[in-house]
Amino acid sequence: MRALAASVALLFCLSSIPPPTAAGEVEIVAAEAYPLGGGEWRFEVTLRHADTGWDHYANAWDVVAPDGTLLGTRKLLHPHVEEQPFTRSLGGVAVPDGVEQVTIRAYDSVHGRAQNGMIVDLRR
């Protein structure tokens, strides 16, 4: 009987541990664009995500033109468990003439692309 009670108690404790997906989607906190000349730009993007380790972490962000053209991707090759939020940059992104805004899209290893992106205005 004690073994059964101990098993039930253990199952109760385990069931209260949130699953890995409890980290939720990655959030774009900030994004800045800096012209480099010749139609190229450098983007600095700050993300927040409750990285839990290799099983669930923010793993990339994209720069996307208004027509949906992918202009650049910054892959994030490891979790940032102890560094939140964190900022990474991507330079040499060729933005076509006439494009005044881009959208930053972020990804994590469990949910894929986050529902919300962030628009960055390139007009200064």
Within-domain flag for 14: no
Within-domain flag for 35: yes
What confidence tens digit (pLDDT) does each residue in 85-98 have? 889 999 999 999 99
Q: Please give the pLDDT value at position 51.
A: 73
Q: 112, exposed or middle or buried, with CB in 10 Å at 0-12, 13-18, 19+?
A: exposed
Of 18 and 86, which is predicted with more confidence? 86
Note if the bond before 85 is cis, omega within 30 degrees. Answer: yes
Residue 72 has pLDDT above 50, yes or no: yes
Within-domain flag for 28: yes
Parent domain of 56: 24-121
Within-domain flag for 56: yes
Q: What is the DSSP letter of 97?
A: T
- State the CATH number of the domain containing residue 113: 2.60.40.150
Average pLDDT, the chain: 82
In the chain, % of residues over pLDDT 70: 80
Q: Please give the pLDDT value at position 23.
A: 61
Least confident of 26-40, 69-83, 100-114: 69-83
Residue 2 has pLDDT above 60, yes or no: no
Within-domain flag for 1: no
Residue 75, number of CB atoms within 10 A of its CB? 10
Distance between CA 91 and CA 81 in Å, rounded?
25
Within-domain flag for 15: no
Q: Please give the pLDDT value at position 5.
A: 43
What total of structural domains would you count in the chain? 1
Of 30 and 17, which is predicted with more confidence? 30
Residue 54 has pLDDT above 60, yes or no: yes
Within-domain flag for 53: yes
Close Cβ partners of 1 (under 8 Å, ≥ 6 residues apart): none
Within-domain flag for 48: yes
